[in-house]
């Protein structure tokens, strides 16, 4: 124990070397830039910069990748808040409340809330990295096909949370998302489904593409239909970006909750930051004392989403480093980097290579501070973008959407797909269906389908396999609570009000 503490301390000392500090700041800044550009995801950023790290010392190389990872997950919130365009899918839920805040002139505040929340989420997830790795890794090993199925069901209950007015319409949107997610190769039978002869669709509709279309391109259409107001926006703009003590106090429960959600989702391979941000947002709304703010600009909504997605970063490192199971697509690339350096994930990393590993952990902690600093400073600068006239934003957003959706796979067909989803997104928003629900269906669809069909195949069609482990039951209870708690809590609150009046 003492020895481990000693190693941890040594890790910090090494992490504070000039080379590593420079690496941290540069990589975090780069990560934030990559994150805030729609279409460039965190995984892409890490993959693109992987070769650069080959010549470096392994610890420094890992710190660089960690900086890009955390920076990008935060960076996505910048464009989500300012132009309703999640820079990475992980910030999709941030766009819901963040953009409303921008419309009220509070872009700077929204950005700094996102920054603080990301910082807290990432930092707290480092605690689990240092102290709970073995335990959480074991939890990851318990998640098999049936458990993933129930996880996806729980994820789908979020649809009720993001459906502003009509739950039926929210459900329709969610099922539509599920249906769209079936486009592509059938995972169990290997046949083509609904592909219209397009080889691009073998893997289904790309989530990032659909997200850019549904959130950003649709925003362009919405901006284009109304008269372009220039002065009014600038007049309402408030430069205040710090958070008052009262606000911080109000956000703490949300951030803590989202940290736990993101941390646990992070350790599960296949469940990533995107699901975490929606869950964090939904739980923030469920437990909020200011529910009426949601939908018109709630800082709790922003905090709930951003703390969760950054908490995924530390969590996803756990199974990657201890078991060699990537917790998320970014860590899969990171693992590739480790292997090329000759480091195998597993106990070796904590025994033979412990000094390097703990230097990396320490660097990961310090990266959070770099992110806070750069992010807050950047908030001042970036917030100015919200003062730009829509007439400038419209073409600029289009250009970014196009380059972003093209950059995913260098495939022009995906630009067309993005545009189609833009049209769908516009109609969806006009007629009170729910774009977030479609995205949820799109992401959770494959997880749920694989979980369900594989479970049934393994058990020869016996549905009892879905109820076979304690973990399954825990998840089922969560689902039930998730569906019924708004109703129960509503009645509870009513009774309290009746009692008091």
Partner 1 sequence: MKKSDFGVVSVIYAIGLGFLFMTLDLPDAAQTYPLVLISALLFVNTLYLIKSLASYRSNHQVEDDVAHAFKEFIPMQFLGVAAWIIGYLALMYVAGYYLSTAIFMVGAMLFLRVKPLHIAISVIVIAAMVAAVFSAFLHVPLPTGMFFG
Partner 2 sequence: MKKVLLSLAVAMALPLSAQAWTPQNDINVIVAYKAGSGTDTGARLLSSQAEKFIGKTLIINNLPGADGKIGWTRLVQAKPDGYTIGFINLPTFTTLAAQKGAPFKTAQIVPIANHLTETSVIVVRADSKIDSLKGLVDAAKANSKMRCSTNGVKASNHTAAQLFAKSAGIQYKAVPYGGTADQLLALRQGEVDFSCAKIADVAKLVTGDKPELRILGVFDKQRLKEFPNVPTLGEMGYYGEWYGSARALVAPAGMPADVVKYYVDTFKKVMSDPEVIKAHQTAGLNLEYKNDKELGELIKAQEKFARDVISTLY
Size of the residue set binding partner 2 (CB under 8 A): 46
Least distance from partner 2 to the Cβ atom of residue 63, Å = 19
Angle between helices 58-83 and 354-383 (to 10 degrees): 30
Which listed range, 85-93, 169-177, 231-239, 460-468, lies at the site for partner 1 (CB under 8 A)? 169-177
Residues 3-32 that bind partner 2 (CB under 8 A): none
Helix (H) or strand (E) holding 342: none
As a whole number of Å, the CA-based R_g of the chain is 22
Which of the listed partners (partner 2, partner 1, none) does 457 bind, with a CB threshold of 5 to 8 Å by partner kind?
partner 2
Cα separation, 108 vs 293, whole angstroms: 18
37 binds, among partner 2, partner 1, none (CB under 5 to 8 A by kind): partner 1
Q: Do 20 and 14 contact (CB within 8 A), yes or no?
A: yes
407 binds partner 2 (CB under 8 A): no
User: What DSSP assignment string belongs to 260-273?
Assistant: HHHHHHHHSTT--H
Neighbours of 488 (CB within 10 A): 10
Q: Mask 37-76, x = binds partner 2 (CB under 8 A)?
A: ------x---x--xx--x----------------------
User: Is there a contact between 325 and 269 (Cβ–Cβ < 8 Å)?
Assistant: yes
Strand partners, 185: 192
Closest approach, Cβ 246 to partner 1, in A, equals 37
> Which secondary-structure segment (H or E) carries 56?
none
Q: What is the 3-state secondary structure (H, E, C) of 446-483?
A: HHHHHHHHHHHHHCCCCHHHHHCCHHHHHHHHHHHHHH
Binding-residue pattern over the window 224 to 263 for partner 2, x denoting contact by CB under 8 A? ----------------------------------------
Nearer to partner 1, 81 or 402 (CB): 402
- When CB distances are held under 5 to 8 angstroms depending on the partner's kind, the choice from partner 1, partner 2, none that residue 407 binds is partner 1
48: its two tokens: 């693109």
Nearest in space to 68 (alpha carbons), one of 38, 34, 94: 34
- Annotate each residue in 418-457 with x if it binds partner 1 (CB under 8 A) or - if it does not, as one string: -x----------xxxx---------------x--xx----
E-only strand ranges, 330-411: none
Residues of span 351-410 touching partner 1 by CB under 8 A: 389, 391-392, 394-396, 398-400, 402-403, 406-407, 410
Q: Which is nearer to partner 2, 317 or 334 (CB)?
A: 334
For partner 1, give the closer residue by CB, 348 or 432: 432
**Distance between CA atoms of 99 and 109, rounded to whole angstroms?**
11
- For the chain, the 3-state helix, strand and coil shares in percent, each to the nearest 5, are 80, 0, 20
How far apart, in Å, are the Cα atoms of 108 and each of 104, 179, 441?
11, 38, 32
- What is the nearest approach in angstroms of partner 2 to the Cβ of residue 467? 16
415 binds partner 1 per the rule CB under 8 A:
yes
**CA-to-CA separations, 385 to 84, 99, 471, in angstroms, rounded:** 12, 12, 47
Give me the half-sphere count of Cα atoms (radius 13 Å) on the Cβ side of residue 493: 12
Contact predicate 34/45, CB 8 Å: yes
The answer to whether residue 336 forms part of the interface with partner 2 (CB under 8 A) is: yes
Structure tokens at 286: 């469920």
Question: Could you tell me which stretch among 95-103, 282-290, 387-395, 453-461 binds partner 2 (CB under 8 A)?
Answer: 453-461
Regarding 313 and contact with partner 2 (CB under 8 A), the answer is no
Q: Which of partner 2, partner 1, none lies near 145, with the C-beta cut-off 5 to 8 A by kind?
A: partner 2
Helices 435-458 and 273-286, axial angle in degrees (round to 10): 110
Which of partner 2, partner 1, none is residue 412 near (CB under 5 to 8 Å by kind)?
partner 1
Decide which of partner 1, partner 2, none touches 333; Cβ closer than 5 to 8 Å per partner kind: partner 2
CB atoms within 10 A of CB 307: 34
54 binds, among partner 1, partner 2, none (CB under 5 to 8 A by kind): partner 2
* By CB under 8 A, residue 471 contacts partner 2: no
| Comparison of 186 and 493: residue with beta carbon closer to partner 1 | 186
Q: Which is nearer to partner 2, 67 or 326 (CB)?
A: 326
Contact 33, 294 (CB under 8 A): no
Contact residues for partner 1 (CB under 8 A)?
33-34, 37, 40, 45, 48, 166, 168-169, 171-172, 175-176, 178-179, 182, 186, 188-189, 191, 193-194, 220-221, 224-228, 389, 391-392, 394-396, 398-400, 402-403, 406-407, 410, 412, 415-416, 419, 430-433, 449, 452-453
Contact residues for partner 2 (CB under 8 A)?
43, 47, 50-51, 54, 141-142, 144-145, 184-185, 187-190, 199-200, 202-203, 269, 324-326, 329, 331-336, 339-342, 344, 346-348, 409-411, 450, 454, 457-458, 460
């Amino acid at each position: 124990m003492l020895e481990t503490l000693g190693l941890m301390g040594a890790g910090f000392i090494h992490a504070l070397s000039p080379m590593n500090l420079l690496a941290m700041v540069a990589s975090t800044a780069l990560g934030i830039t990559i994150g805030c550009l729609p279409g460039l995801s965190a995984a892409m950023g890490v993959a693109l910069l992987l070769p650069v790290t080959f010549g470096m010392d392994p610890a420094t190389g890992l710190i660089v990748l960690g900086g890009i990872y955390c920076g990008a997950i935060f960076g996505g919130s910048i464009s989500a808040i300012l132009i309703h365009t999640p820079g990475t899918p992980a910030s999709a839920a941030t766009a819901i409340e963040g953009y409303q805040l921008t419309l009220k002139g509070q872009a700077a505040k929204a950005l700094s809330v996102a920054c603080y929340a990301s910082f807290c989420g990432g930092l707290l997830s480092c605690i689990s990295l240092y102290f709970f790795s073995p335990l959480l890794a074991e939890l990851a090993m318990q998640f098999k096909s049936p458990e993933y199925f129930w996880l996806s069901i729980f994820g789908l209950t979020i649809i009720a949370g993001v459906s502003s007015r009509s739950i039926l319409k929210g459900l329709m949107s969610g099922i539509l998302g599920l249906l769209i997610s079936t486009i592509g190769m059938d995972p169990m039978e290997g046949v083509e489904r609904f592909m219209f002869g397009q080889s691009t669709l073998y893997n289904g509709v790309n989530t990032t593409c659909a997200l850019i279309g549904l959130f950003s391109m649709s925003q362009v259409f919405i901006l284009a239909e109304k008269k372009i107001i220039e002065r009014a926006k600038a007049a309402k703009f408030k430069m205040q970006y710090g958070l008052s003590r009262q606000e911080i106090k109000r956000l703490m429960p949300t951030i803590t909750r989202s940290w736990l959600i993101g941390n646990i989702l992070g350790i599960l391979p296949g469940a990533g930051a995107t699901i975490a941000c929606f869950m964090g947002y939904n739980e923030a709304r469920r437990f909020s004392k200011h529910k009426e703010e949601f939908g018109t600009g709630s800082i709790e909504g922003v905090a709930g989403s951003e703390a969760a997605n950054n908490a995924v970063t530390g969590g996803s490192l756990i199974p990657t480093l201890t078991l060699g199971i990537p917790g998320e697509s970014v860590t899969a690339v990171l693992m590739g980097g480790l292997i090329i350096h000759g480091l195998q994930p597993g106990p070796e990393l904590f025994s033979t290579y412990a000094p390097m590993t703990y230097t990396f952990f320490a660097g990961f902690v310090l990266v959070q501070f770099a992110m806070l600093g750069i992010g807050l400073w950047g908030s001042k600068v970036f917030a100015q973008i919200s003062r730009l006239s829509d007439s400038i934003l419209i073409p600029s957003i289009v250009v970014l959407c196009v380059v972003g959706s093209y950059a995913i796979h260098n495939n022009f067909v995906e630009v067309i797909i993005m545009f189609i989803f833009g049209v769908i997104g516009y109609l969806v928003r006009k007629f009170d269906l729910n774009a977030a629900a479609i995205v949820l269906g799109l992401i959770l669809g494959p997880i749920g389908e694989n979980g369900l069909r594989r479970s049934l195949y393994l058990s020869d069609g016996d549905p009892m396999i879905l109820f076979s482990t304690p973990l399954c039951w825990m998840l089922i209870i969560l689902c039930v609570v998730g569906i019924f708690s708004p109703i129960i809590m509503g009645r509870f609150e009513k009774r309290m009000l009746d009692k008091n009046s």
